[in-house]
Structure 1
Amino acid sequence: MSAVVAKGQRIDHLSQPKKLPDAYQEDRRSVYWLDKLPTETEGTTKFVVNKHQENLCKPKSIHNEWTGDRPTPKWEVSKAAQQAEASERVSALSQSKGCHKDFVPERPVRTQVSKAAMNASPSARIEQLAKEKTYEPLKIKESYEFDSYVWDQEISKAAKNAKCSDRLETLAEPKQFHSSFQFAKPIQWETTESSKKAIATLRIQQLARPTSRGKTENYDPYKVSSAAVHARPTPRIDELATPIPRKVRQKKTQNAAGN
């Protein structure tokens, strides 16, 4: 009984509304937050600011040494400036920069030929170099003259009796085939006598026979046996056959699509 009474007191305590704090103030309905209501109403609101706010509201003062813009870009030159004389350093800086001692100006497009060049005569060596090079005509023969005896008369005896060195003979030899090189087999080749008389082994004859169906003549290759129908895969095969979870999508039914 005491437990029921304690439970009822706890519920009554929780059901009581929350008390407001002592410093609580209700929301002010006016936009202006005034501690006291004004005694006189003049129709306008008076703003009260402190000294720092008054200083911030003032415009920025002009500097003591500030001078305004000149009224015109032209101004009078003082007499001191008119009678001033430049120093040696200023005079030296005012002089234009001189050209280098080895500077040569560009030549004009058309140059004048001197009289000495006009009256000059070339030397014998220059005349020899100025002549164009002459070549002897090439000895071109017709195709029917390639095997003619005329070519033997034009070949010198030294060329006929010339012998090449050992190094040239070595380089002139054709490249030998590899020791394991085999030529390509012909498309058609003769069957050897041993292959013609060869007899298959018992194992080869056994493998060459077709699968025996027994006494069943009407064999249906597409018929599934009862053992294959009732066969069940192993847990490992089920695990491998299960698709990846991230690739599985729920099939949409017609009712779900209508909703």
Structure 2
Amino acid sequence: MATLQAEYERIRDSGRERLLQLSQPKEPKVEWYTSVGPHVRWGTQEMIWPVKPEALRADSTERLETLALPKVNFLKGDNINRSQFFYSCGRSSVLWKVRDSAKRSTSTERLNILAEPKRAHNEFKEDRNFRKYTHAEKLTFPNIPQFKYSCGRQSPIWATKSMPSGGGDREYTSELAKHKRPHRDFKPEKPIQTTIPHAALKAEATERLLTLSTPKPRPDGPFREPDWEVPGSAKNATASSRCLELARPKPAVDGYLLPRDEQWGVTKAAKRASSTGRIDELSRPIVRATMDHVQFNPDAFLVKPLALKGAFPPRVEQLSRPIER
């Protein structure tokens, strides 16, 4: 603590105020009305609650000493302190070496019962494909036919029955064995390179083809300038009546009114106008009582005298009766 105080004074004397500001611990954002317990300053090694001297001098009980004992390690030999990566993914096999005493031991009667495979139910019915075989043919299959398709069992391909001598393929079997034929309108793909016939290689172009293949002739110049003089007769020419008629713009429709301006002046009559009594009545705001007066109503639960003297009709009395079930 004295060393920290000396370092604090050295930094303060050296003028490094910014470093001194950053070295201060973070202030807790806790209000006085939500704080519970003593004030703990961040960055210290002090305990929240002081330990009593009686607790420091107290001795542990027999139960605590029993719970404090480490767990007994039953592994012996090479298996003591087995590394953690022994059980991780991608490591060597976790199958341990079998002891010689375990190899010479014999299984108990209970283990022999547990090692027996699960038997089929008494009302179990075999697959219909399995029923068509005779008893002699069934002997070639496993004792439990449902094992045939389970995981890790033998191949589901059954043994082929011996064919009679001189037997051949049936006509229907031979027809099914043929591959699928293409459609009668099927055309094979064309080769990538087209073969040019010898007549086309020895042919000569006609006169018409030579004429069409000749490039278009273009003169070398001189060309007319982009600007040229206008003759005087063109300048003195007058437009005909037909041209003047076509040059007229399209007139507007009869009765067409131009659009009004965005701003227009208010008339003097509108300025001197006054509102009627009805308009003044509608323009008055609605005066309502404040919420303090509305919520505080001392007569809210009082029954009016007329209600105390009133009598309900027989229909209301009939409806007020509970339903009898």
Instruction: Note whether the superposition's TM-score is higher than 0.5.
Output: no
Bigger CA radius of gyration: 1
TM-score normalised to the size of structure 2?
A: 0.28
TM-score normalised to the size of structure 1?
A: 0.33
